[in-house]
Amino acid sequence: MARLLDWPEIARSPQLAGLLSYIVDRQLAGEGKTIKAYSIAVDVFGRPPDFDPQADPIVRVQARRLRSLLDQYYRGPGGDDDVQIQLPIGRYVPVFVSADTTNSSGTGTADENSTSEATQEHIAGGGKATVARGQVTVSWFVLLVLAIGAAALAYSLSTVETRRGQGVVASGAMQPPRLRVMEFQNLTEDSSITPAISALAIELVTDFESLVIVDAALDSRSEDGRDEDYSLTGIVRSDAMSPQDYQVGAILTELETNSIIWNWSASFPRDQFTRRGGVDAISQELILLLGGTRGPLHDHARAFLRQGSIAGRESFYLCGVLFSMYRTSGSLGLAERIRSCVSGLPESERENGNVLAGLASLIAEGVGEGANAVLTLDDRLAEADEMLDRAILSNPRSSFVWEQRARLDEMMGLHDAAEAAYGTALQINPSNIDAMAAHARHLALIGRLNAAVRSAQRAISSVPQTQIPNWYFCVPALASLFDAEYRRALSHAERCARMDVELGSILALLAAQATGEEELVDLQLPRVLEVHSFREAGILPRMRERATDLALLERIETGLKRAGVPEASLNSPY
């Protein structure tokens, strides 16, 4: 434990260090049975005596972070440790495992009572899943019906009241969708992986909690009497095409109509279910595709918002979905609807960290109203900076808040701070797709294009094709430009420019120049010169704030000069 506490990844987080010390010390003192979410929240995280573990997920979130770091440590600097500290899924009592036992069998424990717990241990890692996207196949559907269809049908038929107005309470405000996660079924002949498959449902519920916008629960009815809107069910079976793999499949059922609205399947190596971290990796793959506001769980909310005004029916949830729609299209109208939605929230919710962070981003990005509309870039950034400081104080465990902090740091040219903030956002919620895509764009601008391409491709593949934000294509545009695929680069850059006008317009100009077609250059050059922030600061000074990759900056400067941009416009306001 002392070596772990000295390890920088844990040492820099007092909360994680405190959690590790607390659970290990209590277990060594023979008080393992007293380690509960409530005691951790009060003793470690300073929560008040009336702490409600269901309302505040801090313990589950921090325990999940600790599990991931423990795995990272034992796969790296702690690989030669004689004893490993493991934290089983769904519990907060650590187990101490002999490294010899771990190396020989892939799992192990310090005593007989810990054996089943260790088999459920998880950490990040594992093979890359190949996701099959599309319609439900006949064979897949038959297998799923055999395994779990009867249970889902019985449950859905037992709820005869209409749920089409999903989440609309007496006040008229739509609330986050409620999801019932059922235990996945083991259709293989390998009973040794059953504990890991059982743990998958627990891990999914834990991962959904960090999203805020989905109320997920294990197979049970809601305590407040409100029925779930959806159920998530799944199976694990042998992969007929690849005998060394298992196939995991899941379906999302809308319970009102008993209709399957989404399906997914992916193949994983067999040891994904026996090594630590395998279950976590599967859960993250599912959450990435299903959990975001552009996913099928929020179809009703998006349709409701497209119908028009929601005056009198505002909710924190709807404001969040509106912000996601704004991030997708960049529409000024949506930005104003976000402000209107926020103004309709109770005063206490208007000071929520997520709300403050969203408004700060609108200010920083120049989507202002009233006085904000005439502020200079520096003034906007300063106002957004102050608001984001308040947001972090209000909700320091929000991935969304840290994503907006990273975006602002990036705009201000604070690249090290931006990287740290992106890292925090993705550590809190690895399935924050916008944070993943924004981080990829930042990586590309600071000279880490290879890593940027991998993250950008993952983000693009995780969003329905009709809802991929145009700014996700900024990294593919830059990659295509450096790969001399100029037509592709131009196509991607034009999409990028619809939302990131600074970077997109310049990449489009460079790609047009590379084609050798002057008419394309004549089309793209005015778009660069019309960018408001370039007029305020000069083109190169503004791009030097956004990018540190010297090769890219040199290419931009050379291209702009070749296109005939005056020296004064390159280096000063115009």
The predicted pLDDT at position 198 comes to 87
Which residue is it, tokens 């650590």? 94
CA 203, chain centre distance (Å) = 15
Q: Name which residue leads in pLDDT, 568 or 456.
A: 456
Instruction: Give the model's pLDDT for residue 145.
Output: 45
What is the rounded average pLDDT of the residues 129-157? 43
Q: Are 529 and 565 in contact (CB under 8 A)?
A: yes
Is the Cα dihedral 468, 472, 475, 481 positive or negative?
positive
| DSSP assignments along 482-527, one per residue | HTT-HHHHHHHHHHHHTT-HHHHHHHHHHHHHHHT-HHHHHHHHHH
Q: What number is the average pLDDT over the span 157-172?
A: 41
Q: For residue range 492-530, list pLDDT tens digits in order.
A: 999 999 999 999 999 999 999 999 999 999 999 999 999
Beta carbons of 173 and 318 less than 8 angstroms apart = yes
Rg (CA), the chain: 25
Q: Which band of pLDDT confidence, cut at 50, 70 and 90, is reported for residue 230?
A: very high
Q: Note whether 241 and 165 are within 8 A (CB).
A: no
Q: 417 falls in which pLDDT band (50, 70, 90)? A: very high
User: Which amino acid is located at 371 in the chain?
Assistant: A
Residue 537's contacts (CB-CB under 8 Å, 6 or more residues apart) are 377, 545, 573
pLDDT in tens, 470-485: 999 999 999 999 999 9
CB 163 within 8 A of CB 229: yes
User: Would the CA dihedral through 131, 135, 136, 140 be positive or negative?
Assistant: negative
Cα-Cα end-to-end distance for the chain: 60
- 3-class DSSP assignment, residue 237: strand
Q: Does the structure show a pLDDT above 70 at 319?
A: yes
Residues 202, 79: Cα–Cα separation, whole Å: 28
Is 213's pLDDT higher than 50? yes
User: DSSP state, 39?
Assistant: H
Confidence bin at 54 (pLDDT 50/70/90):
low
Q: Say what the pLDDT of residue 372 is.
A: 52
SS3 265: strand
pLDDT of residue 525: 94
- CB distance 178 to 226 below 8 Å: yes
Residue 243 DSSP one-character state: T
**How is residue 268 annotated by DSSP?**
E
Q: What's residue 37's pLDDT?
A: 83
Angle formed at CA 103 by CA 98 and CA 105, multiple of 5 degrees: 95
What is the sign of the dihedral through the CA atoms of 43, 44, 47 and 50?
negative
Q: Which residues is 254 bridged to in the sheet?
A: 230, 259
Q: Above 90 in pLDDT, residue 42?
A: no
Domain positions in the chain are: 2-118, 130-293, 308-413, 431-574
Q: Is residue 427 helix, strand or coil?
A: helix
Alpha-carbon gap, residue 533 to 377, rounded angstroms: 7
According to CATH, the topology of domain 130-293 is Rossmann fold (3.40.50)
Give the rounded percent of residues in the chain with a pLDDT score beyond 90: 53
Q: How many CB atoms lie under 10 A from the CB of residue 565? A: 20
Q: Is the pLDDT of residue 160 over 60?
A: no
DSSP 182: P
How far apart are alpha carbons 142 and 146 in whole angstroms?
A: 6
> In terms of pLDDT, which residue wins out, 357 or 133?
357
User: What CATH number should be reported for the domain whose range is 431-574?
Assistant: 1.25.40
Joined together, the tokens standing for residue 24 give 């290990």
pLDDT at residue 129, as a whole number: 39
Model confidence pLDDT, tens digit, residues 295-308: 999 999 999 999 98
Per this entry, what is the length of the chain?
Answer: 574
